[in-house]
């Protein structure tokens, strides 16, 4: 039995299998999941688990080189935008594409992790980096 890190076996497996530049998505309850992309559904009820909690736990286990957000998050969910930039820095977080472009990128994801988050545009694409050492 695993002692540390993410205990969810599906998430743990996806993170272990990621290569450099592979992407995963952490989503709110409303983001559509493209056909053929595995969905790991953690949603229990609206708000549980929350987007921030899941992002923080995944970030502990994943080397992240880039994070993509939809630009609509700036106006529609400034609290989550602030959380992401404070946690990861402006050099890592890119919020320059539309929500429609964001959804198109999710087709290439290795998995979508669906949270119970019920606030607008609380979705991110995490691009894997490389850990040497």
20 part of the active site: yes
Can you give the length of the chain in residues? 133
Report whether 122 belongs to an annotated binding site.
Answer: yes
Report whether 99 belongs to an annotated binding site.
Answer: yes
Report whether 28 belongs to an annotated binding site.
Answer: yes
Report whether 10 belongs to an annotated binding site.
Answer: no
Residue of 19, 125, 128 whose CA lies nearest to 63: 128
Residue tagged active-site, from 4, 10, 20, 131 = 20
Distance (Å, rounded) from C-alpha 83 to C-alpha 59?
Answer: 13
Report whether 121 belongs to an annotated binding site.
Answer: yes
Residue list, annotated binding site for substrate: 28, 99, 121-123
> Active-site positions?
20
Binding residues: 28, 99, 121-123
């Amino acid at each position: 039995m695993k002692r540390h890190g993410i205990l969810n076996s599906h998430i743990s497996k996806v993170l272990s299998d990621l290569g450099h530049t592979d992407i995963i998505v952490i989503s709110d309850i409303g983001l559509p999941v493209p056909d053929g992309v595995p969905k790991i559904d953690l949603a229990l009820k609206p708000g549980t688990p929350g987007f921030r909690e899941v992002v923080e736990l995944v970030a502990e286990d994943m080397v992240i080189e880039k994070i993509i957000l939809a630009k609509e998050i700036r106006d529609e969910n400034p609290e989550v935008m602030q959380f992401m930039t404070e946690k990861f820095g402006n050099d890592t977080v890119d919020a320059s594409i539309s929500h429609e472009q964001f959804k198109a990128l999710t087709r290439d994801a290795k998995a979508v992790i669906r949270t119970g988050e019920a606030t607008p545009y609380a979705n991110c694409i995490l691009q894997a980096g490389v850990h040497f050492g």
